[in-house]
Each structure stands twice: as structure tokens, then as C-alpha cells.
Amino acid sequence: MPETSGSPESPTAVRLKSAVRARSLAAEGVALSMGSTAVVVRGAQADTVWRALEPTLRAGFQRSALLERFPARGRPFLAGILDQLAEHGFLRDLEPEPDSLTEAERAAYPHLESATRRPYAALAALRASVVRVRSSCPLLEAEVRRALARAGFGEVQADTEPAPQGPILLTARPGEAGGGAEYVVAADGGLWLTGPRNRPGTPDLSGRLRAWFTGRETDPAHREPDDSALRITRTLVAAQLALALVGHVARSVSDTAVPDDPEFMVTTDELVSEPHTLLVPDPLDPAASWPLPAPAPRDTAPAEPLEVPDRLDAVTHLWDRVFGPVSPPAPEDLSQLPVGLARSGRYAGCGFTTAQARENALVNALQQVVWRAPEHVPQAGTGLGLTPVAAIGAAVGDLVLRAPEERWKDVDLPSPSPAARRLWTALTLRLGVTAELRLQELDGSGIRRAQVVSGHGELRGASAAPEPDACVQEALLRAVAKARLAEEAPDAVLPTASTGTEAVASALARWAFETGRVRVTAPGGADGWRSRGVHAAVAAWT
């Protein structure tokens, strides 16, 4: 992750990092890149301006002085270029350069320069760092010691604590200038985890990884490769660990922000290696909730549908194929007519479109893994969603749908909308389900509950909302989905009585805050999950 170069107005003299490369895009501008990070400076004169500026940027400059020397009418354009360079971590502090570097320091320098504004200070910190290494595998420990020595660490010591049992586990703790932290290599069943490479390790890191290996399903046909193949793997993961520790030292000499979740290099015995992120937020605790403000009016208005594919794209880390807490929400080979269907592992989802079904399947699967004992708060409703309104609406819906039966009174059904009529036709004529549609009201509250009941008295779908047609449509949607899943995926789990469509969620959220009959709070741990794209709410009667 490239490091930003501080405030655009910082008085520190800086210069362009040596790894930054420029490529002309003719009249479109100039493309600047460093590693996997790239930025385009657009404008007809961008290439000309860049060619004139580049020698100064590489030699070193102070922002305000450079702007003062530039023609007044072009200063906003130059300021924009400097802002982009700072934002993408393409600038570094102008430091005194040492007279010479050792071979190890020359090897480490490019990595340090990409990770920090002060690469020479990081080299000095590297020389002063002491790393303590402990491993349950002597051969791996030897490879790691060699890699750390080549990377320029000042001292590598043996940790005399007893070696852990179970999967291969090597722990490296950099100290002194590098600060206390923990980095690991963990391996079992043909998989090697190395890191974290983006942040310091936490004290419970080794325990988390060992628990992950314990819960992982390993192919019973897996065989350990021969020693020559393992030797190459050990060399690779040792180098990856050394890079992670070098990055740690680089961050220790600057104010680089680190992400909440650790990223590990995951390597197979076949030497396929790629980064994966391990989510580490605390479970949601409905018993430790705090007040949640009402959403802005535009969030509760059912005007235009939100872009569901964009929401799903933003949370792909939730179903990371190595560490993801849930399976990818996918339509698989399920029919997508007359309603959308998807699965995330054994949990199914439905919607008026396939994208909505994927979102619903994801939320249904997350409900099983992110809560800490929600059943211990029986008088509350819990809800998740990829937006605040979706979470609030789901929590309110969960609360009202669990209200005692004596509080519900029968009311007349409204004239069906075209959408409701199509779903009813699909259920009864196309799928051949004998059913009855019922509508009730909760204690004169304005909340209606729609239920689709089979001829044998089985509940096939239920929903609740202030608007009768919205809850009728959602109840029919679930009934149709259940009927289709019974044919195509009888093992799939789909909640029968639930809310989740955007129209119902927004109506329930608006009703809760406007009437004051329901108190909405955020569960303990909500901030951590929100930063990962998952919103949560708890609803209780006032």
C-alpha cells in the first residue's frame, strides 16, 4: 500500500520517488505510475508541463516555493498535480543521503522507498532492529534467518520459548527501532500463510491462524510434496516474511496509516501465491447497543432503487475464497424466473432481480456468523444490510414479525397491483401451489402483515410493512422463491418470514422514526463491521 506524503501544505522539502515513471498520453495528459499504483494527470498541456517540471521534482522542492516560481495562471494546475502526487504516495522527504550502502541495504532500499517517505531513516532503523524468531520447523527457521540477514536486519536472535504444536508455525518479533509486533508463517495441508504484510501483527494473531487451520476442510487426498519442492516453498515464504518485516520497520519511522484487517500472502505447495485479507472485527453484540440516529430523509425515500451490483462489488472481501466468513453469493444453476434466486453456501436469497437475490443470500448467510448470541435478547429484533436503511428496516421487520399472534387483526386485502398479480399467478398457476393470501394489522399501528398460507396451513411467505402492497409483494416473492427452491435446491435455507426488499426496508425505517413506537440502536461491534461494508441495527418496542 503506497504511503501518502502528508498534508499538501507541508513545509517539508520533498522529491519524487525514484520508482515513479511517466508515460505520455499525447493530448490526453501524462500517466504516472509506481508499482501497481497509477494516476493520470489530464490536460492538453499536462505532458509539456510535466517534462519541464520533472527534473525539479526529482531533485527536490518545497511546495510553496515551487508554486511561487510558477506563472500565476498556471498555479492551480500545478497545485493539482502536486496534490495527486502526494495523495498517491509518489513523494518522499528530502533526506541526507549516506555515503554508501551495503549490499543488503541496496536490496532493501527500493522496497523501503515505496513504503515510506523516509527510506534512509528506515534503513537506519533496519540496522538497529533486532528480530526474535521461534519456529516449530528448524528448516523453515533457517530459511527465515537467511532472508532476514539478506534484508539488512541488525540482529536475528533465537526465541527459546517451546515450539508450538499442530500446524507449522514460525513467529518473528521485530523489536528495538522496529517496535514490538508479531509476524508469522503458518502452514498445514499444502497451504502457507505469511504476514501480515500491511500492518503490525496483534498478540492473538497466531491463535487466530491456528484456529482457522483447525476449522479448515483439507482435501483427504492431499500428500506432502517432496523435500525439493518444499525447499523452494520455504525460500519463497521466508522472503515474503522478510518483506513484511521490512515494511513494518518502514512504517515505524513515519505516520503511515495501517488498515484494520491484516493481509496475508497465501501460497500453495504449487507456488501459487496471492494476497488475502483476514477479517478481524468483533462479533455483533445486541446486548451492548447504543442509540442510532435516524437516517437522512433521502436514505429512507423509496425514490430510485440503489445500485445493488455496486454494493456487492464493495464487499467482495466478505467472501474471500481463503478467509471469507461466507461463501460467494451466486445464482449458481438456479432458475431466475419468475424471481431471482441465489445461494451463499447453504443459505439462499431471493429478489425481484438476480442482483437483489445475491444481496439477500449474502445477508442471510452473514446473519449466521456475525452475531454474538442474538437469542439472548428475545425482546429485540436484529437486522443486517449493506446500507443503514436496509439494516434498520430488517431489524424493525424482525421485531414486528415476532409480535404475538393476538396483536394481529384481520383486515381487507387491497386491490392487487400488477406486480402482486404476476407473483400470485406464478405461484398458483405456473408452480401449481394452492395458497391463500391473508392481510392483518398490528394493534392499529399502521403496520400490515401479509401471509401466504398453503392449503395445508403451511406458511409459505410473510412480510410486514406500513404499505399493504409492499408487504404483499414481498410475502409473495418469498412464497414463489420457496416453491422454486423446493424443486431445484431442497437443501437451501431461506427465511419464510422476513423483510429485505428495498421498498419494505425503507418504509419500515421511516415508520419507526416517525412514530417513535420502536427504538433503534446499533449493536456492540457495529463500527467495526460498518467499516467493512456491513451495517447492523437492533430494534425494540418503546
Which residues neighbour 20 within 8 Å (Cβ) at sequence distance 6 or greater?
A: 32, 33, 34, 90
Q: Is pLDDT at 206 greater than 90 in this prediction?
A: no
Weakest mean pLDDT among 217-221, 295-299, 388-392: 295-299
Tens digits of per-residue pLDDT, 425-482? 999 999 998 999 999 999 888 999 999 998 888 999 999 999 999 999 999 999 999 9
Task: Give the model's pLDDT for residue 180.
Answer: 62
- Measuring CA to CA, which residue among 402, 399, 382, 390 is closest to residue 521? 382
- 444 phi-psi bin (left φ>0, alpha ψ -120 to 50, beta other): left
Among 492, 288, 282, 281, smallest CA distance to 382 is for 288
262-283 burial code (b ≥16 CB/10 A, e <16)? bbbbbbebeeeeebbbbbbbee
DSSP 168-229: EEEEEEEEETT-S--EEEEEETTEEEEE-SSSPPPTTHHHHHHHHHHHS---TT--PPPHHH
- Ordered domains of the chain (ranges, CATH): 14-93 (3.90.930), 103-277 (3.40.50), 285-541 (no CATH)
Specify the range with the lowest mean pLDDT, choosing from 30-44, 61-75, 221-235, 314-328: 221-235
Strand partners, 541: 518
Q: Is 60 helix (H, G, I), strand (E, B) or coil?
A: coil
* 3-state helix/strand/coil string of 95-123: CCCCCCCCHHHHHHHHHHHHHCCCHHHHH
Tell me how crowded residue 139 is: count the other CB atoms within 10 A of its CB.
13
From 212-216, 233-237, 317-321, the region with the lowest mean pLDDT: 212-216
Q: Is it the case that residue 184 has pLDDT exceeding 80?
A: yes
DSSP state of 372: S
Percent of the chain having pLDDT more than 70?
A: 90
> Given a cut of 80, is residue 382 above it in pLDDT?
yes
DSSP 310-362: HHHHTTGGGG-TTT-SS---B-TT---SSSEEEEETTEEEEESSHHHHHHHHH
Work out the pLDDT band at 125, boundaries 50, 70, 90. confident
Is pLDDT above 90 for 336?
yes
pLDDT score for 126: 85
Model pLDDT for residues 228-241, shown as the tens digit of each residue: 778 899 999 999 99
Grid coordinates belonging to 217: 476442510
138-151 and 227-252 are packed helices; what angle lies between their axes, rounded to 10 degrees?
Answer: 40
Q: For residue 427, what is the DSSP state?
A: I
Q: What per-residue confidence (pLDDT) applies to 462?
A: 95
pTM of the model: 0.80
pLDDT in tens, 69-117: 888 888 888 888 899 898 888 898 888 888 778 887 888 788 888 878 8
At 303 the pLDDT is 42
Return d(Cα 110, Cα 95) in angstroms, integer.
15
User: Which of 119-133, 164-178, 251-265, 499-513 is least confident?
Assistant: 164-178
Contact 507, 302 (CB under 8 A): yes
Could you tell me what percent of the chain has a pLDDT over 90? 44
pLDDT of residue 29: 84
497 compared with 421, residue with greater pLDDT = 421
Given a contact cutoff of 8 angstroms between Cβ atoms, the answer to whether 306 and 534 are in contact is: no
Q: What is the mean pLDDT of the chain?
A: 86
Backbone Cα Rg of the chain: 29
Task: Determine contact, residues 494/350, Cβ cutoff 8 Å.
Answer: yes
User: How buried is residue 483: exposed, middle or buried, by Cβ count under 10 Å (0-12/13-18/19+)?
Assistant: buried
Q: What are φ and ψ of residue 449, in 5° steps?
A: -120, 125
